Structure 1
Amino acid sequence: MRASRLVSLLLLLQNRGRMSAAKLAAELGVTPRTVYRDVEALAAAGVPVYAETGPDGGYQLMDGYRTRLTGLTAGEAGSLFLTGLPQPAAELGLGAQVAAAELKLMAALPTPYRDASVRIRQRFHLDAPGWYREAEPVPQLLAAAEALWQDKVVEVRYRRWSPEPGVVTRRLRPLGLVLKAGVWYLVAGPRVRTYRVANIERLTPLEETFTRPDGFDLAEFWRANVESYEDGETGETAIVRLTPAGIEALPDILGPRAARLVARTLEPEDAEGWRRARVPLESVPHAAAGLLRLGADAQVLAPADLVAHMGATIRAMARLYP
């Protein structure tokens, strides 16, 4: 543990120049007293590190000194694709490895490239969740990721919304994890399907392992799955009655593409001018939140759990406005 910390301290000084003991302690998650001891250990090992006093003082390396100790561990190498995604990396338990990998990469780069990478980090940032949305709790994410790395079969208790709402037990073969708009999905076989990780109530890794399907491409599977879902070929739907005003408001509520899919399912007007349509249903709470925005211009007819959820919400709202 200490050897890894000494390397990190050395790379911090190499990449960032002069740093105070307090700043080094904050980066390394230790006390300044520990930093003092670590600096002494580096100096005793022949590393030309020295201290400057004063308000702008701190520790720094002698000009021209560069370490070649930049080898990546297997865990750090596996986390490189997440170096621009600190929150997902932390959710997967890779936050510390990502930080160490970034330090080693920065130390290995020639100065012009290192300066360019710093400029990129200062200018670009990815924030995956949508506006006014907090990342949903995913207590089973780490267990899913560990089983995924080890090609282990898992048994899950999964809360589904359709074809009938309830909790089911499944034996799955994890093939990949996907972060889409701030939501984690598990892609798993044997019939390759997607499962919302937040809906997994329990996940138990089994001793049984499996061999991944030859030629399985996670990115290609997800692209095709998204296209199929958004084209209305797969996925669950809700049956909704809509007024002309409700139909007109759909692009703002669901987005243009989903609104076009709904428009393809519209049935002729009834005697009151309403029309039925099928609306994509990701989950009951998600669908209810959107359809409630239509107010009295929409009436949900099915599925029953969405109807019940809408009714309970509307009754609760009515109690607030007697």
Structure 2
Amino acid sequence: MTAQALAERLEVSVRTIYRDVESLHAAGIPLYGDAGPRGGYQLLDGYRTRLTGLTPDEAESLFLAGLPGPAAELGLGAVVTAAQLKLMAALPEELRDRAGRIQQRFHLDAPSWYRDQDPVPHLPAVADAVWNEHALQIRYRRWKAPQEVDRRLEPYGLVVKAGRWYLVARSGEQVRTYRVSQILRLRPLPERFTRPEDFDLVAYWQGHLAEFEARLRWGQAVVRLSPDGLRRLADLMTPGVVTAARASAEPADAEGWTRVTVPIESIGHAVGEFLRLGADAEVISPPELRERVLTAAEQVALLYRAGHIGNSIFPT
């Protein structure tokens, strides 16, 4: 069959057929094509594929691949459940038992601790625009002024990070990232766009995270950490700070304290971060940060020495 005939039969674009054929080749499917007016795509004679060809590891991995929360937010919760039931029914009994044990023993919960889940009422419409390559007109809330802006977007892909959905889309000449929960209003536009063939969503997202981390951490601080402070660092700080601390850690001194150099976002932000470590951290530099931490600690001590509890005053 020609690419055009396949596209009409499957109700997709010819470009989608070309992309899917490349994916089938990569998966080892013996599909080949002949050019010319009488050409087209054809499977190698006699080729068949069956679910019984799955290895035990492949069958088990399929039941770890789906996240029920994000699927439900996309409106696909029932679809995912139905697909898993059909897959389970088609597997041989041995593989069915192994896959069932995976579901009973492993549960993937993507959102982070201590964080409410973002409301994403516009997510299904965004996902539909991503899939069908339709432009969007949105009203968006951002952190800087003016806080509410209007944007025409060409949506390239969706990413779920720590339970939060992000839209990667072209706006004007730039590809940007938008938090889906911050979309206030959305209107699908009639015009369609062509997603660049060479756009790699995973590569873009990894680059975006690296750029965000570099932009977030503009300075450095030298800090002494007690043995407990060094252990608690991984629970209280971001992975970038923890990695930098471990890489720069000097040999412990006679008291067991370790000097490290870590990136900081700002002086004000760093004060709160290091105060979380209490007496297990001493800021050495920069001098402004050391002075700010000292002032904050003195204010906390003064508050507690005053003995104020609500409207009552207790003797110290």
Q: Deviations over 1:255-310 (max 9, x none)?
A: 241473318989742498238xxxxxxxxxxxxxxxxxx9946xxxxxxxxxxxxx
Determine whether 1:176 maps to 2:157: yes
Determine whether 1:225 maps to 2:227: no
Instruction: Indicate if the aligned counterparts of 2:141 and 2:183 stay in contact, CA closer than 8 A.
Output: yes
Aligned residue pairs: how many?
199
Q: List runs of 5+ in structure 2 lacking aligned partners.
A: 1-49, 51-61, 243-261, 271-284, 298-308, 312-316
Return the alpha-carbon distance in structure 2 between the equivalents of residues 193 and 272 of structure 1.
37
Paired amino acid for 1:130? S
Residues 141 and 258 (structure 1), Cα distance of their counterparts in 2 relative to 1, 3 Å cut: farther
Give runs of aligned pairs for residues 256-275 of structure 1, distance below 5 A. 256-258=239-241, 260-262=262-264, 268-270=286-288, 273-274=291-292
Determine whether 1:124 maps to 2:102: no
Return the alpha-carbon distance in structure 2 between the equivalents of residues 178 and 99 of structure 1.
21
Residues 105 and 250 (structure 1), Cα distance of their counterparts in 2 relative to 1, 3 Å cut: closer
Match of 2:47 in 1: none
Residues 321 and 211 (structure 1), Cα distance of their counterparts in 2 relative to 1, 3 Å cut: farther
With normalisation by structure 2, the TM-score equals 0.54
Match of 1:15 in 2: none
Q: List runs of 5+ in structure 1 lacking aligned partners.
A: 1-67, 69-79, 276-293, 298-319
With normalisation by structure 1, the TM-score equals 0.53
Paired amino acid for 2:108? L
Paired amino acid for 1:179? V
Match of 2:170 in 1: 189
Match of 2:7 in 1: none
In structure 2, the residue corresponding to 1:188 is in which secondary structure?
strand
Return the alpha-carbon distance in structure 1 between the equivalents of residues 203 and 63 of structure 2.
17
How much does 1:99 deviate? 1.3
Instruction: Indicate if the aligned counterparts of 1:82 and 1:89 stay in contact, CA closer than 8 A.
Output: no
Instruction: Indicate if the aligned counterparts of 2:154 and 2:193 stay in contact, CA closer than 8 A.
Output: yes
In structure 1, the residue corresponding to 2:264 is in which secondary structure?
helix
Instruction: Indicate if the aligned counterparts of 1:151 and 1:211 stay in contact, CA closer than 8 A.
Output: yes
Tell me the percent identity.
50
Residues 202 and 321 (structure 1), Cα distance of their counterparts in 2 relative to 1, 3 Å cut: farther
In structure 2, the residue corresponding to 1:194 is in which secondary structure?
strand
Instruction: Indicate if the aligned counterparts of 2:169 and 2:177 stay in contact, CA closer than 8 A.
Output: yes
In structure 2, the residue corresponding to 1:261 is in which secondary structure?
strand
